Amino acid sequence: MARLFLSALLGALLLALPARAETYSVEGVVAQATAADPLAARDAATTKAQREALDTLLKRLAAQGSAGRLPPVTDQLVFQTMQGFEVQQEKTTATSYSAILTVEFRREAIDQLLAGAGIDYVEAADHPLAVVPLFIGPAGPVLFEGDNPWRAAWDRRNAGADALKLVIPQGDLADLQALNPEAARQGDIAGLTQIAQHYDASSAIVAQATESAAGLAVSVGDAGQAPFYTGSFPAGAYDQAATAAAAAVQERYRSQNAVPAGPPASLQATAVFAGLKEWQALKAAIEATPGVRKVSVRKLMVGKATVIVDYQGEPAGLRNMLSQRGVGLDLGAEGWQLHQGIGSSVPAPGLVPDTSLSPQGALAPGAIGQVPLSSPATSVPAAPSPAQSSPAPDFLFQ
């Protein structure tokens, strides 16, 4: 009975945890062409737009300085990676066609394409980041109401190369109720959280521009934190300042979410946790880590679970990326352990467990192996014998 309960609970947990988005989107792609007839014009316009969308996406994700190593974008490459597209603002004449496309590409195919080319890249975020432009001029702070040239500059900014989508609150009723200028100036966490939720964003930050006779002083920071970017510009240089501030936001995101080039690999570890909520948070954090392709739960017990992590790159890179998300990866007497919080038992650089495989081709306990993603572990943990004591199902998580 306990095993049946545990299986049902495991299934419920896996369904409850949010899945990573399976596609990358490129929005606002202009499709335009002329031809002898509208059908030919449409085919030419959409084909060209799809190539441009893929080119934009690859350059958006690739590490800076690696654009020259990207594979050439061909119709065949589009066919291999594209999931589909959506058409808006479609216009047709007897000899022309125009539209705005949103093109979706399969995340796995794009990731494999970049990894196969040996290019470091960044995974595009599943949710945007809300940027609240606060302008402080001679008349005082301005946010959503009144003349805010700083916000207008953010609206005008070309965001085509952004790996992290930035959304600018439009000042509707929900925005006005959530945040006023003084609250934004103080970095009100509750108000910024409401803004983020309103725009389905991961979080909200304040971009503040203070204009005086000396010029334009800009700072960007998270709620309740010191600014991670500051800059000085000539008075009235709103567009220049917005471009520089947005570049700092993108650079921070890239540095925190870079996926190093490297072959696919797998790691078997024991995830330890104090209860159901901590397990859900731990698994979600691991799955959201850049470079992690899949987390497979092999065995779930009270306070711990045996998992297989399929990832890309090297063990040191995985450990570093997990640590940035508050997940510790430590090597102990029983192999690798995953847990919330950064522990002190992380092995020295270059120290990794034995990468040998078991005779059945499964990963040996605690091993990190450079093995194909299509070769998962095949052994199944044995069920506990009747003599072994196990906790009552009602106390599985305490």
CA dihedral 370, 374, 377, 383 (to 10 degrees): 160
| Among 336, 221, 347, CA closest to 286 | 336
End-to-end CA gap in the chain: 19
What is the rounded CA–CA span in Å between residue 318 and residue 292? 8
pLDDT of residue 10: 47
Query: Architecture of domain 129-257 in CATH?
Result: 3-Layer(aba) Sandwich (3.40)
pLDDT of residue 342: 63
The residue behind tokens 């350059």 is: 59
Q: Is 18 helix (H, G, I), strand (E, B) or coil?
A: coil
pLDDT of residue 259: 77
CB contact at 8 A, 94 and 195: no
Q: Is 198 helix (H, G, I), strand (E, B) or coil?
A: helix
The residue behind tokens 């040998």 is: 356
What the block records as the tokens of 318 is 């995985």
Q: Are strands 166-167 and 335-340 parallel, antiparallel or unpaired?
A: unpaired
Q: What is the DSSP letter of 223?
A: T
CB contact at 8 A, 261 and 119: yes
Q: Is 17 helix (H, G, I), strand (E, B) or coil?
A: coil
What is the rounded CA–CA span in Å between residue 285 and residue 70? 30
What the block records as the tokens of 83 is 């999931």
- Which of 9-23, 205-219, 314-328 has the highest average model confidence (pLDDT)? 205-219
Answer yes or no: is pLDDT of 206 > 80. Answer: yes
pLDDT band (50, 70, 90) for residue 20: low
Which of residues 345 and 313 earns the better pLDDT score? 313
Answer yes or no: is pLDDT of 355 > 50. Answer: no
pLDDT of residue 149: 94
| Among 114, 96, 97, CA closest to 105 | 114
pLDDT of residue 158: 84
CATH of domain 23-120: 3.30.1660
**Type of residue at 357:** L
For the beta carbon of residue 364, count every other beta carbon within 10 angstroms. Answer: 17
Hey, what long-range contacts does 228-234 have (CB within 8 A, 24 or more apart)?
228/252
CA dihedral 304, 307, 312, 316 (to 10 degrees): 40
pLDDT in tens, 253-305: 888 777 776 677 888 889 989 888 899 889 888 888 877 878 889 988 888 89
pLDDT of residue 393: 36
The residue behind tokens 């990832």 is: 311
Dihedral sign (CA 184, 190, 193, 194):
negative
Work out the average pLDDT over 48-53.
Answer: 95
CATH of domain 261-395: 3.30.70.100
The backbone torsions φ and ψ at residue 330, rounded to the nearest 5 degrees and listed phi first, read -120, 150
* Domain segments of the chain as ranges: 23-120, 129-257, 261-395
- How much of the chain, in percent, has pLDDT values that exceed 70? 80
What the block records as the tokens of 189 is 């966490």
DSSP 321-387: HHHTTTEEEEEETTEEEEEEB--S-PPPTT------B-TTSPBPTT-EE---TT------PPPPPTT
